[in-house]
Amino acid sequence: MKKFLIGEISERYGISQDTLRYYDKAGLLPFVKKNSAGRREFTEDDLGYIEVIDCLKRSGIAVKEIAKFMDWCVAGDSTLPQRYAFMTEQEAALEQKIHELQAQLDFLRWKKWYYQTANEAGTETIFFKAGTRQVDAKWHQKYLATTRE
């Protein structure tokens, strides 16, 4: 079976060697063996684990939680229920994050439209209720109508 050194894994997945070493020390790579020179050697079987770790980390999951998950993976089929429950929980958390980010993006786009329109008018007072600095709700409705076109 082909073996890979840490530099090859780093290049292949865009994860720094320092990060991979940190992952190993933190318990995320319990499957990795060291050769007689003390260098980490990854096998082709390990590559799938690296992809899972990278995905979980990019999803914002704590290293400690990923380490627990990797321990379950190494333990084998007896931990399939725990791994399924973990993925189900992480899916729900990530969907919530996506929902929150979408709301933030929607607001940012509204404000971008607001400033573009104000810039074209030469003033943002066109948005205000008479005698105030409060934005009239009709403008947000007008913006929403432009996003549906």
- Please determine, for residue 149, whether its predicted confidence score (pLDDT) is greater than 90: no
| pLDDT band (50, 70, 90) for residue 114 | very high
Rounded mean pLDDT, 124-131:
90
- Please determine, for residue 13, whether its predicted confidence score (pLDDT) is greater than 80: yes
pLDDT (tens digit, 9 = 90+) per residue, 90-104?
A: 999 999 999 999 999
Q: Hey, where are the domains in the chain?
A: 3-75, 101-147
Distance of alpha carbon 133 from its chain centroid, rounded? Answer: 38
pLDDT (tens digit, 9 = 90+) per residue, 26-78?
A: 999 998 999 999 999 999 999 999 999 999 999 999 999 999 999 999 999 99
Nearest to 24 by CA among 8, 36, 42: 42
What is residue 143's predicted lDDT score, i.e. its pLDDT? 85
What average pLDDT is seen over the chain?
Answer: 93
Taking each helix axis from N to C terminus, what angle separates 17-25 and 6-13, rounded to the nearest 10 degrees? 110
- Please determine, for residue 136, whether its predicted confidence score (pLDDT) is greater than 90: no
Order the strands of the 40-43 sheet from edge to edge. Answer: 3-5, 40-43, 33-34
CATH architecture of 3-75: Orthogonal Bundle (1.10)
What is residue 26's predicted lDDT score, i.e. its pLDDT? 94
What is residue 141's predicted lDDT score, i.e. its pLDDT? 87
